Chains A and B, each alone.
Chain A
């Protein structure tokens, strides 16, 4: 390549970006939605009531529920309710001997060794809600994709992430005037405007983009780069994980004699004092009801940057503190903060909104990048007289993902409200609805990859998003009329956000419909010469 360094980096930026752009857009959109994973789950289970009970009282109700329904379990794990999720979530591990023969229908992992329940902390009763994966669908879609084996999906996502990292670095190198670009937007000038928009969406949230891409690779690095563990711990990889992460060893063996458990409220209080005000987020009881019961209390994830939260181990009968865990090493903490930054569980509502908007900026950056490629290519094809295969393919993929994915997202939410509640495998039916809608959008885009298709699909997405609050009002009792009056900001916020997304997409569709290709300078001169009597109206941008 006989080019300058900057030119070769621009080339690399173009092609790394284009090759993975469409899958990257899916990953970005799913990831951005995942910032509101709990809120989406809440909206998608309208039967789940708003609750007020928190802290020790909720913990006691959890233990009462578990004593009634899982008294023989080896361990119980309880996640306490907070302001984002108002329910008690718990799972338990049954002893091997008591595991029922798998009849293929039992929910839970590993053929029924695990049980789980969602319990209302106000009443202590299990909550029956429609079968849905809620926001977890987007969270998994973000790195496990769908329909393909998880291992392949994660390698594919990691590959895309490395391309993205390279595209970000080369994008920065390509810029001569990165600071000036921040303030530059020249609308109505075709390719120049798209380039400006691509720059603004990229540069405005650049620290975020670089952070989210690198930390995203960090979340799965044990899978991508197992070689360091293999080199340093050739015989026993588990030894590495317990050396790097384990806070406690295995709990002591069960005594086999029953004993009354200690007061959980006291343990939570002691933990909070030990952490100087750090809030307990949940606990695990090993050997419940046994004389050798052990309780591990873990701190709430929402209050620290790091994903690794401190835990305390108590004697489950006497309540004595057994172990406070060793202090984690520097690299463990660094990795924990990287991981935590990616998931942003620490974010309060305003910061969460900023993360979400940065994620949206990332979606717009990827979308404008792939569109920019098509706009740059088009003049050459027009000169040649026909649209070549490559450009047609890119056009179709652009329409089918940039406009088609919002259609899929909205249809997924609509499916949650409109699919019959009693159908079998309802949660996977909802996921199928997502991909069916996307497939229709892609097929339509391949059949007719023209500007009219852009407008139609953007309008269709807008309509579906605008319909969501309406359908919600018709099918549930958690619609805006109720949620606004009750100041239920999760439910109301979701509906209002859908209105906002729909309005934004409608504006985009309208612009796409009305857009005129910018005339060349020569054509403008000709035009203004022709209309000289009525003034140079045609010369404006």
Chain B
């Protein structure tokens, strides 16, 4: 990241790079992002799995719990907090979009 030359953004960049901010950001990614990923995973699988609808809903939930836990590991395993957010938000957004696209089962 290019550090801008003016003092305020530089200070801001300093704050952002402080390890505590990184940890707080990763924690939010793990907890909120992890839950969002679990929620979208369960909704998407409920609609997308080619099986009985009620069974798909249950399968989606059982898988989503694991997805949420993996998101927390990811948030603290990758090199930067930004990657942590991208790695969780992107699949969550994709599955959220997939859920909207598939629409409610009539």
Contacts and interface: CB of A to CB of B under 8 A. Distances in A.
Interface string A281-312: 00000000000000000000000000000000
Interface in A1-57: 1-2, 5, 8-9, 11-12, 16
B61 interface: yes
Interface string B48-71: 000111111111111011101100
Contact of A231 (B51, B62, B99): B99
Nearest to A16: B72
Q: Which of B30, B62, B64, B99 has its CB near the most chain A CB atoms (within 10 A)?
A: B62
Contact of B79 (A1, A16, A227, A240): A1
A48 to B, nearest CB: 39
Contacts of A232: 46-47, 53-54, 56-57, 104-105
A329 B52 contact: yes
A166 interface: yes
Nearest to A164: B69
Interface string A227-269: 1111111100000100110000000000000000000000000
Interface in A207-234: 214, 217-218, 221-222, 225, 227-234
Interface stretch (A198-206, A330-338, A522-530): A330-338
A244 B57 CA distance: 9
B22 interface: yes
Give the size category of A's interface with B. 35 or more
A221 B61 contact: yes
Contacts, number: 113
Give the size category of B's interface with A. 35 or more
Contacts of A228: 42-43, 45-46, 56-57, 60-61, 64
Contacts of B55: 244, 329-332
A9 B60 contact: no
A448 B59 CA distance: 50
A532 interface: no
B73 A169 contact: yes
Contact of B54 (A9, A214, A243): A243
A508 to B, nearest CB: 33
A214 B65 contact: yes
Contact of A9 (B76, B99, B105): B76
Contact of B46 (A11, A169, A222, A229): A229
Interface string B80-106: 000000000000000000010000110
A244 B58 contact: yes
Contact of B72 (A162, A222, A234, A329): A162
Nearest to B26: A1
A118 interface: no
Contact of A5 (B40, B62, B66, B77): B77
A244 B59 CA distance: 11
A231 B56 CA distance: 11
Contacts of B73: 9, 12, 166, 169-170, 173
B76 A8 contact: yes
Interface string A143-172: 000000000000000000010011001100
B39 interface: yes
B38 interface: yes
Given A243-B54, A332-B55, A166 B72 contact: yes
A232 B57 CA distance: 7
24 contacts: A1-B19, A1-B22, A1-B79, A5-B77, A16-B72, A162-B69, A162-B72, A166-B69, A221-B61, A225-B38, A225-B42, A225-B64, A225-B65, A228-B45, A228-B60, A231-B47, A231-B99, A232-B47, A233-B53, A240-B53, A329-B54, A329-B55, A329-B58, A335-B58
Interface of A: 1-2, 5, 8-9, 11-12, 16, 162, 165-166, 169-170, 173, 214, 217-218, 221-222, 225, 227-234, 240, 243-244, 329-332, 334-335, 338
Query: Which 7 pairs from chain A and chain B are nearest by CB?
Result: A228-B46, A331-B58, A243-B54, A228-B42, A231-B43, A244-B54, A331-B55
Given A240-B53, A335-B62, 11 more contacts: A1-B76, A2-B79, A166-B30, A218-B61, A228-B57, A229-B46, A232-B56, A240-B54, A243-B53, A329-B52, A331-B55
